[in-house]
Structure 1
Amino acid sequence: MLTTYWRQLRSAQASVLLSFMTLTFFTGLGGALFIPTLSLFLTTEVHVEPFAVGLFYTFNAIGGIVFTQLVARYSDKYGQRKRIILICLLMGALNCLLFDWCRSYLILITIGIVLLGMGASAMPQSFALARDYKDQSKERSMMFTTIMRAQLSLAWVVGPAIAFALITAYGFHTLFLFGTAVYVLGFFITLLKLPDVAHQPSNVNSHEQSKKNRGDIYKLFVCSTLMWGCNSMYIISMPLYVSHQLHLPQELAGWMMGMAAALEIPIMLIAGYLTKYWKMRSLLIASGVAGTLFYLGMNWFDSPHMLLALQLGNAAFIGVLGGLGMIYFQELLPSQTGQATTLFTNSIYTGSVIAGACAGVIAQYLSYGAIFIVSGCFVALATLLLTQVKPI
């Protein structure tokens, strides 16, 4: 499937698209190195209490929403996406250097949050630039956007393992220098290889279409937020559920996450291919059904083999949502590619903010298993709401 797609491209265009894929991997790797190790860094190096760690994550999510949305509005109005990506990658590199040098919580939660938010904007802007490039060449962007999204998933498969290995062997100093190098490499790939697509003012038809689809955008944002929020609740609670409530080996949680992440990538690519034959909404509804069954199954089964087998449902849920969700936003907002891509990203941030509070309350007053029942109900509700969104 991928070989056939790649052969259809001219060599010059293939080089540009390969550069987009590499940039997506590096921007994803920057986050995958940093976010999973942040709580450990704040606890062991900055010496703050658990409440301060949670507060930092909350501020980081809110900052990500604000800064990525501001950058998206500017890029949709004035263009210059390549220049914006370059600036954001520099901000990401500066953030790594700041965390390497500074141990002041106040500076990290202020200047650090600004640099983090700006650095995070590189990813949605790279997807928006890729969409503009494919639109300008009058070619279908569906499959390529899906392949780019798979690079992001791949970065999150290898990133946390690399991060913890570097910390264990060499400490945080080496980790942050490695992160700086990742952003700098991304900067030069963008500077030397990515096209500088001229800003195309929205035509009347696409602008009117975007206005007409506003209601559907709001519904899709709610659906995406609920679904990603349930995924965040799962990530927060699953290791504790496995070890504390089921009294199973802690290593099982790692195997479950690794298996789901590995399965997501081929499912994501298959979903992109199937859009030739089925509407995106139909595939997303099917993934919502898979997600509902997965979460309910997590509460129902307690066998290690069954918990591992259930990861196929988890991968189907997140693989299709992660691969097609962004494209769905872009199709509903054809005149505002940057904002459409950022809305998808911000639905993940918003879901994470909500998930932290919900997971804590449910686990405190009910149980870890109850989190999965609530998640199953939320995903079912989101899937029903999805049936009311304009089919594409």
Structure 2
Amino acid sequence: MISFKSPRAVFILLLLLSGTLCTASLIPFMGVYIVEVLGKDPWLISIYAMLTLSLTVVVNRIYGEWIDNGRRIAPLILTSILAFGFALSVMLVFETYVVLIIICAPCFALSNAAVSTMYSFGRLSAEQNAWDIARYNSYLRATTSLGWMIAPAVTFLIAGAFGARYVMISALVLTAVWATLWWKVMPSDFVKQSRIKDPSTDVGSLSDNAKAMWTAAGVCLLFSLAHSATTSSLPLFYIREAGLPVYAAGLSFSIKTFIEILAILSTPWLITNLGVRRCLGVAAVVAISAFITLANVQSLSHLVIGASLEGLYYGIFAAVGLLYIQSFAGDRLGRATSLYMNSLYIGGLIASPMMGLVAQFSGFRTVILLSTVWATLALLVLIVSGRNQTRLS
């Protein structure tokens, strides 16, 4: 069990929350910043997003390898904090797209890698303190969702009331909080402890684990592709094709995130009763139902049902997907965690241009219905790979 009488477990979650609030306050706002503040064409948003996501994938992989090789985790998180603060300072001084691409995008990629690094830190802390791993992982994911539920709404509220410049200033204040928590919470010498190797472990079993881990990453990629494409399409689908009021998108997001957090917190019970792989199977089935429901929304009551199903499936996936990949990690927890995060980023990277292309020729409803294909493929991969037993270490 997790003892919250000791402040360590709570402070780790606060460290993650502060980092998530920082990154989540900027990521959704960058499109508005590029178009409205810098006065650039919307297609330049894609250039910035693709560059930042691609660099994030690379940094995640490097950080994961360093963690597995026994590097201290504290300097990695500090680098992310400093990079985020530096990028914000540069944006306050230089309001140009070239500077955003050359200086800020790489810095934001470094800061984005903090989430994966803090997931590894949280999981390793759970192992070293004998906490319930599944339960603490669910707390980590719920904390991330909480940050995403709060930060974008506050960011756009600040932007509407005071202007884009104050978004950067408020994010800098959050960065100072993040840095303070890092100084208070993060042990400077914390590293991944080496495990005693099992003499029976041979090259063949390690190869099997690697294949299983990549298969698990493929499942997460399919979930991410479905989720990203649907999330990008829903606001315009609600307004243009379903004929709902403008506030429908915000209502849907709030309901989805609220149910998502509840679902994440319920996953330890689900894992105990169903196991990790079956939980993902349940998430895939619920996802298919959610996409069909959302694609046929015609009223706010239908929206509530669809958004609730969306939050339910994604909450289960968000908590269990990380455990699923980590269960094949062996002694490569950092690599597994970065692989999980990269599958989410790559899914989003693929989904954006795909969504635009499909919506251009067939509408946003088709994009949502197409997500049922990705969820079905994820379910089929889970069924086919079911012979590999998921192990929670």
Q: TM-score, normalised by structure 1?
A: 0.93
RMSD of aligned C-alpha atoms?
1.8
Q: Residue 172 of structure 2 corresponds to which residue in structure 1?
A: 180
Q: Does 1:329 align with 2:325?
A: yes
Q: Residue 292 of structure 2 corresponds to which residue in structure 1?
A: 296
Q: Any conservation in 2 of the 1:72–1:339 contact (CA below 8 Å)?
A: yes
Q: Any conservation in 1 of the 2:4–2:10 contact (CA below 8 Å)?
A: no
Tell me the amino acid that sits aligned with residue 221 of structure 2. T
Q: Residue 35 of structure 1 corresponds to which residue in structure 2?
A: 27
Q: Residue 353 of structure 1 corresponds to which residue in structure 2?
A: 349
2:111 pairs, out of 119, 124, 132, with 119
Distance in 2, Cα, partners of 1:171 & 1:79: 41
Q: Residue 197 of structure 1 corresponds to which residue in structure 2?
A: 190
Distance in 2, Cα, partners of 1:102 & 1:74: 33
Q: Does 1:17 align with 2:9?
A: yes
CA deviation after TM superposition for structure 1 residue 42, in Å = 0.8
Distance in 2, Cα, partners of 1:237 & 1:61: 19
Q: Any conservation in 2 of the 1:86–1:191 contact (CA below 8 Å)?
A: no
- % identical equivalent positions: 19
Q: Residue 26 of structure 1 corresponds to which residue in structure 2?
A: 18
> Secondary structure in 2 aligned to 1:248?
coil
Alignment of 1:259-270 (within 5 A): 259-270=255-266
Provide, for residues 309-362 of structure 1, a one-character-per-residue CA deviation record: whole Å limited to 9, x for no partner.
122210111101111111222221131221111111111110111101111111
- Consecutive unaligned residues in structure 1, runs of 5 or more: none
Q: Any conservation in 2 of the 1:100–1:172 contact (CA below 8 Å)?
A: no
Q: Any conservation in 1 of the 2:15–2:185 contact (CA below 8 Å)?
A: no
Alignment of 1:66-81 (within 5 A): 66-81=58-73
Q: Residue 128 of structure 1 corresponds to which residue in structure 2?
A: 120
Q: Any conservation in 1 of the 2:294–2:307 contact (CA below 8 Å)?
A: no
Alignment of 1:248-287 (within 5 A): 248-287=244-283
Tell me the amino acid that sits aligned with residue 222 of structure 1. G
Tell me the amino acid that sits aligned with residue 346 of structure 2. T
> Secondary structure in 2 aligned to 1:250?
coil
Q: Residue 342 of structure 1 corresponds to which residue in structure 2?
A: 338
Distance in 2, Cα, partners of 1:332 & 1:164: 40
Q: Residue 236 of structure 1 corresponds to which residue in structure 2?
A: 232
Q: Does 1:385 align with 2:381?
A: yes
Tell me the amino acid that sits aligned with residue 155 of structure 1. G
Tell me the amino acid that sits aligned with residue 357 of structure 1. P
Q: TM-score, normalised by structure 2?
A: 0.93
CA deviation after TM superposition for structure 1 residue 272, in Å = 2.3
Q: Residue 77 of structure 2 corresponds to which residue in structure 1?
A: 85
Between 342-351 and 86-95, report the one with greater CA deviation.
86-95
Q: Residue 312 of structure 1 corresponds to which residue in structure 2?
A: 308
CA deviation after TM superposition for structure 1 residue 79, in Å = 2.2
Distance in 1, Cα, partners of 2:236 & 2:60: 32
Q: Residue 94 of structure 1 corresponds to which residue in structure 2?
A: 86
Tell me the amino acid that sits aligned with residue 190 of structure 2. V
Q: Any conservation in 1 of the 2:73–2:117 contact (CA below 8 Å)?
A: yes
Moved over 4 A (4+): 206-210
CA deviation after TM superposition for structure 1 residue 237, in Å = 1.0
Q: Any conservation in 2 of the 1:280–1:391 contact (CA below 8 Å)?
A: no
2:361 pairs, out of 361, 365, 372, with 365
Distance in 2, Cα, partners of 1:82 & 1:375: 39
Provide, for residues 175-226 of structure 1, a one-character-per-residue CA deviation record: whole Å limited to 9, x for no partner.
1122122222222212222334344235433896654311111111111111
- Consecutive unaligned residues in structure 2, runs of 5 or more: none
Tell me the amino acid that sits aligned with residue 343 of structure 1. L
Q: Any conservation in 2 of the 1:133–1:197 contact (CA below 8 Å)?
A: no
Between 319-328 and 208-217, report the one with greater CA deviation.
208-217
Judged with a 3 Å threshold, the aligned counterparts in structure 2 of structure 1 residues 275 and 101 are, in CA distance, closer, same or farther, namely same
The aligned length equals 384
Distance in 2, Cα, partners of 1:129 & 1:181: 24
1:223 pairs, out of 201, 213, 219, with 219
Tell me the amino acid that sits aligned with residue 211 of structure 2. G
Provide, for residues 8-34 of structure 1, a one-character-per-residue CA deviation record: whole Å limited to 9, x for no partner.
x163xx301111110111111112100
Q: Any conservation in 1 of the 2:17–2:147 contact (CA below 8 Å)?
A: yes
CA deviation after TM superposition for structure 1 residue 391, in Å = 3.6
Distance in 1, Cα, partners of 2:46 & 2:83: 23
Q: Any conservation in 2 of the 1:16–1:194 contact (CA below 8 Å)?
A: no
> Secondary structure in 2 aligned to 1:78?
coil
> Secondary structure in 2 aligned to 1:200?
coil
Between 127-136 and 256-265, report the one with greater CA deviation.
127-136
Judged with a 3 Å threshold, the aligned counterparts in structure 2 of structure 1 residues 79 and 302 are, in CA distance, closer, same or farther, namely same
Between 201-210 and 82-91, report the one with greater CA deviation.
201-210
Judged with a 3 Å threshold, the aligned counterparts in structure 2 of structure 1 residues 219 and 26 are, in CA distance, closer, same or farther, namely same
Distance in 2, Cα, partners of 1:235 & 1:198: 37
CA deviation after TM superposition for structure 1 residue 65, in Å = 0.7
Q: Any conservation in 2 of the 1:256–1:307 contact (CA below 8 Å)?
A: yes
Between 175-184 and 36-45, report the one with greater CA deviation.
175-184
